[in-house]
Structure 1
Amino acid sequence: MRVAIAEDGALFREGLVLLLTAAGHQVVGQVGSGTELLAVVATEPVDLAILDIRMPPEPDGGLTVAERIRAVHPEIGLLLLSHYAETHYLTRVLEIGTERIGYRLKDRIASVQVLADTLQRIAEGEIVLEPVLAKRLVEIPGDRTNSPLAALSDRELEVLRLMAEGRANNGIAQELFVSTKVVEKHTASIFTKLGLPGDATVHHRRVLAVLAYLRSARIDGG
């Protein structure tokens, strides 16, 4: 995979290069700003761009640059990185797109295996979200009586949490040590209980399920 990196921290940027190279990917550009990354994707064939969310020339410059890349080069996968799992960042990521995109914490991808898995899932068209954020979204504080999630069982909430990470049915099955058929049964029940449209594609319904989380979860994005 041909990967371009935009990260203003030189040490972390070099670390990413080493991890990507070890995973068999080709780094076609490593720059320190969003402006430089836009120049790279305009001149080099790039399969996936890795961007620091908090990057010059503005506080959340990585998100702005990701929006511009997606608008001009929709075929390029995007991986947004941050030190923090913040709900308002996730909302922005979902606004950029729900396919071939990811939002992960920097300290969670500091291994070849995790980074390679994340990039592979994005390349296959998935949305990949940080597990700690997906977990926070299901752990809704206070009374859940009036929440659309109130009708879900504990197991369905667990399935929905993994779905919110962007995992496919087989990935959820592996995490829960159950069969894919069991996961399919749970997801069908979740879609019905959340009132998601039956004529939507499976992937689109998964995204709607994630958005149902965001609407119903009373979470401090800090």
Structure 2
Amino acid sequence: MRVALAEDGALFREGLLMLLRAAGHEIVGAVGGGDELVALLATEQADVAILDIRMPPEPDGGLTTAERLRASYPEMGLLFLSHYAETHYLMRILEIGTDSIGYRLKEKVGSVDVLTDTLNRIHDGEIVIEPVLAKRLVERPRGDKKDVVASLSEREMDVLRLMAEGRSNNGIAGQLFVTPKAVEKHIANIFGKLGLHTDTSEHHRRVLAVLTYLRSQRTEV
């Protein structure tokens, strides 16, 4: 996989480059800011761009840079890294897109296996959300979604949490040690309880299920 990296912390950038090379990825370039990344990708093609959320040219430069990149290269995956699991960052990221995009904590991508799994899922078109943030979103609902959440079973809550991480049905089944058919049934129940009876694709209903929780937390961000 061809990967471009923008990270203003030299030490973390070098460590991440070592992991990427160990995983067999091709590094098309590593820079310290958003403007440099845009310039790099004007001449080099990448499958996924990794961006630090907080980097030049502004406090949240990774997000504004990603908006420019998604407009120019809609097929390229985007992986955001941060020291913080913040709902308002996730809201901004989901406004950029819900396909081939991810948000992970820097401390959680410190192994070849985790980093490779994250990049592969993004490259395959999935949305990948940091598990601790997904868990928080599901377990701390607010506002008019409170009664809806109360109606979900414990297993449905587990499934929704894993959906919020961006996992596929097979991935959820593997995490919960159940069959994919059982997962499909739980997801159908979740869609029903959240009122997602639409003609849109399952992928978009999955995203809408996650957004239901995000929007219920707007008063906290």
TM range, smaller chain: over 0.9
Q: TM-score, normalised by structure 2?
A: 0.96
In the alignment, does 2:39 pair up with 1:42? no
- Residue 178 of structure 1 aligns to a residue whose secondary structure is coil
Q: CA RMSD in A?
A: 1.6
Structure 1 residues 67-99: Cα deviation after superposition (integer angstroms, max 9, x where no partner): 100011101100000000000000001000000
Aligned length: 221
- Note the C-alpha offset of 1:215: 2.1
Decide whether the 8 Å contact of 2:172 with 2:183 is kept in 1.
yes
2-side partners of 1:58 and 1:100: how far apart? 24
Amino acid at match of 1:206: R
Rounded to whole Å, the distance in 1 between the matches of 2:16 and 2:94 is 24
Unaligned runs of at least 5 residues, structure 1: none
Alpha-carbon spacing, 1:21–1:206, altered in 2? closer, same or farther (3 Å): same
1:185 aligns with 2:185: yes
Corresponding residue SS for 1:43: coil
Q: List 4+ stretches of structure 1 deviating above 6 A.
A: 141-145
Q: Deviations over 1:5-50 (max 9, x none)?
A: 0000001011111101111100010000100000111110111100
Task: Give the aligned partner of residue 123 of structure 2.
Answer: 123
What secondary structure is seen at the aligned counterpart in 1 of 2:42? helix
Distance 1:41 1:180, change over 3 A: same
Q: Report the counterpart of residue 82 of structure 1 in structure 2.
A: 82
CA shift, 1:134, in A, is 0.3
Which residue of structure 2 aligns with residue 167 of structure 1?
167
CA distance, structure 1, for counterparts of residue 200 and residue 143 of structure 2: 31
SS at match of 1:27: strand
Q: 1:67 to 1:145 in 2, by over 3 A?
A: closer
2:109 aligned residue: 109
Deviations 1:185-219 (A, max 9, x none): 00001001101133111110110001011122477
Aligned to 2:195: 195
Q: Distance in 1 between matches of 2:137 and 2:161?
A: 8
Stretches of structure 2 that go unaligned for 5 or more consecutive residues are: none
In 2: Cα distance, 1:145 partner to 1:73 partner: 36
Q: 1:154 maps to which residue?
A: 154
CA offsets, 1:110-136, max 9 Å, x none? Answer: 000000000000000000000000010
Distance in 2 of aligned mates of 1:139 and 1:125: 26
Write the mapping of 1:203-214 to structure 2, written as runs, cut at 5 A. Answer: 203-214=203-214
Match of 1:24 in 2: 24
